[in-house]
Structure 1
Amino acid sequence: MEMLMDPAPSADALALAASVRDYLAETHGPDVLRRLDAGSRRDPAIWQGLVAMGLPGLLVPESAGGLGLGLVEAALIAAECGRACLAEPLVDTAFIAVPWLLADADHAVLADIASGNRTIPLPHAVNPWVSDGEGVGLESVDPLRRLTPAPAHVAADAVLLNLGALMTAAQLIGLAEAMQDQAVAYAKLREQFGQPIGAFQAIKHQLASCAVAIEFAKPVVWQAAAAMAAGRPSAAIHVGHAKLAAGDAAWAMAETAIQVHGAMGYTYEVDLHFWMKRTWALCGAWGNRAFHLARLDDAILGGSHPIGPEHTFT
């Protein structure tokens, strides 16, 4: 597949994501997650705070009351939503539904989305559930997800699939980094044999391997966002690669964070479990590992995307 030579986000995009990170760190910490888990899983005040920042309208054109930004900015902010383990359906509506509607030239509800007055459930054939839809609820491994059964007959829209997989990969990046921070903090705090467990080589090596996987996955995700934004023919392949790289990194980080926390790593008393369960849920959303690996195999082994330097670096 051809490479985008500079997948690094711009300084402005990174600054915007940093401001969202700061806001969510102040308003959506572990205490909020526990309160939501014990209640209705949603809080109108949190949603209104996101609306006040203009996030539901991030990709909505300025003519419809939005900010008119692009998929790279959305992917960066989706990562921050993962870092905060955000419960509200911002990513599904603002970063998946909006570009999907724009691709279909359907602008009828964009103003309502930008104003925060409408969310869009997204049924797709690859998912047996709909997030924040209407109907009888389903149990999820993630206690903060609100799922309902998917309709009996749902189209397998390719654009929607790629947008869903892309933004899920971005969230997995943020989830992985949040679990990394929690594991490192605990490794510095917890002592055995008179020293922090982070001083032990086995812990260092596990955390370092996860850190490398996360850093390697980031440019893959940003590149996928740029490829979709540019309408490149290889965009679906970049998205599949992003979902695989981000999912593998986040899954490994979840396992390592549990091990670093020891026997208590699985328990409800440890905040880690919210991020761990969201990771497990999102790794299976919008196509699991086997699904996206098969897409890449079909493209590369099938010859539609030939490999080799003469193709990769065109």
Structure 2
Amino acid sequence: MDLAITDDQATLTQGVRDYLTGVHGPELLRALDASDGRRSEGVWQGLVEMGLPGLLVPEAQGGLGLSLLDGVLVAAELGRAGVAEPLADTALVAAPLLAKAGGQDALLEAIASGGTRVALQHPINPWVADLDGATHILSVEGKILRLAPGNTENTFLDSVDPLRRLYAPIEPSGTEVGSADALLDHAALIAAAQLVGIADAMLNQATDYAKNRSQFGQPIGSFQAVKHHLASTAVKIEFAKPVIQRAAVALTEGSANAAVHVSHAKLAAADAAWAMSETAIQTHGAMGYTYEVDLHFWMKRAWALSGAWGDRAFHLRRIDAAVIGGTLPIGPGHSFA
């Protein structure tokens, strides 16, 4: 399995990163927070002009027809920029599931054009994100995904992340388009990819602060204790990236162990993001806890996504069942199978 990033993928992610750096910085996050997490139509239109809603929509329906592996690379950039818009749910989860199900050409065309936003509902989450702005909802009843109109009058729920707009689930209905497991696995994978991007952003913020904050006449980044903590979390982040890419390939190929690879990815990404949150706070000292420091936007998003689409206990159980049950043998003879 070749997980090397191609030149086209590097160009894609760099382009997305450059665009988001220019339009989706801490100033915008603070403005959205001041407006109770309301969405920005200007930001959404910019994402549409970049062609991002159609990233995984087939070319026949007006999209770019890229792969799920491309999708996780872009999801990491969304996490890095702290994007609150429902782009990941619509473009990186719903679109590939609808394309695989078939018979949803009109909806896929609407997604690619930016005119449709799809919210996701699954029993594993006691909430639905961005239900108020959704034109459709992809939901689960038993083990069947169903498509139904979005409900904008449902109960609004609090979130640890002030920029996540969460609502109580609705009664599912509509057209059958797939399986519950597929929705869970795709959404957990995209959440994992965002977590890695979030962790990268926090690492950069902590590193920059350590370079500029001086104590005892020198930058605190020169102290071994600080350097070692930052290096340890950087390793966790880098080790999580290929695990996420492998899970994307496994889902694309329909591997028998794809769900286990997704759980591994979610665990690796959540652990890296959680460790990075703690290290970033410690690096910033007491200031890390204050609203005035931008870090808290990414830290709270990491906390929120770590528990979304299956918490640590859920994904550990899936891995334990596969390893102990024998469906995923481990050891030297199986490491590179």
Higher strand share: 2
Report the counterpart of residue 123 of structure 1 in structure 2: 121
SS at match of 1:121: strand
One-letter code of the match for 1:113?
Answer: I
Q: Distance in 2 between matches of 1:264 and 1:94?
A: 36
Greater alpha carbon shift after TM alignment, 59-68 vs 144-153? 144-153
- Kindly provide the amino acid, as one letter, of the partner of residue 312 in structure 1: S
Structure-2 residue corresponding to 1:42? 39
**Higher mean C-alpha displacement, 141-150 vs 96-105:** 96-105
Task: Deviation per CA, 1:92-125: give whole Å up to 9, x if none.
Answer: 0000011121232242410111111111111001
Q: What TM-score results when the alignment is normalised by the length of structure 2?
A: 0.89
Matched residue type, 1:235: A
Q: What is the Cα deviation at residue 312 of structure 1?
A: 3.2
Measure how far apart 1:228 and its partner are: 1.1
Structure 1: distance between partners of 2:332 and 2:220:
44
1:69 maps to 66
Secondary structure in structure 1 of the residue aligned to 2:184 = helix
Q: Superposed, which structure 2 residues align to 1:244-263 within 5 Å?
A: 244-263=267-286
TM-score (normalizing by structure 1) = 0.96
> Greater RCO between the two (CA within 8 Å, min separation 6)?
1
Structure 1: runs of 5 or more not aligned: none
Identify the residue that residue 169 of structure 2 maps to in structure 1. 150
Equivalent position to 2:77, from 64, 77, 80? 80
What residue in structure 1 maps to residue 318 of structure 2?
A: 295
SS at match of 2:122: coil
1:286 aligns with 2:286: no
Residue 16 (structure 2) pairs with residue 20 (structure 1): yes
Name the CA shift for 1:7/1:53 in 2 (closer, same or farther; >3 Å): same
Q: Aligned partners of 1:106, 1:257: CA distance in 2, in Å?
A: 47
8 A Cα contact 1:96 1:167, kept in partner: yes
Residue 109 of structure 2 aligns with which residue? 111
Q: Give the secondary structure class of the aligned counterpart of 2:334.
A: helix
Q: 1:72 and 1:265, CA in 2 relative to 1: closer, same or farther beyond 3 A?
A: same
CA distance in 2, matches of 1:267, 1:223: 37
How many residues are treated as equivalent by the alignment?
Answer: 310
Identity of aligned residues (%): 61
Distance of 1:156 and 1:226 partners within structure 2: 19
Summarize the alignment of residues 264-283 of structure 1 with structure 2, pairs less than 5 Å apart. Answer: 264-283=287-306
Aligned twin of 1:310: 333
Q: CA RMSD in A?
A: 1.5
| Alpha-carbon shift at residue 151 of structure 1 (Å) | 3.2
Selected match of 2:199 from 150, 156, 176: 176
In the alignment, the residues of structure 2 paired with residue 206 and residue 173 of structure 1 have an alpha-carbon distance, to the nearest angstrom, of 17
Of 187, 210, 230 in structure 2, the residue corresponding to residue 207 of structure 1 is 230
Alignment counterpart, residue 130 of structure 2, candidates 123, 127, 132: 132
Separation (CA, whole Å) in 2 of partners of 1:145 and 1:25: 20
Summarize the Cα distance change of 1:178–1:125 in structure 2 as closer, same or farther, 3 Å threshold.
same
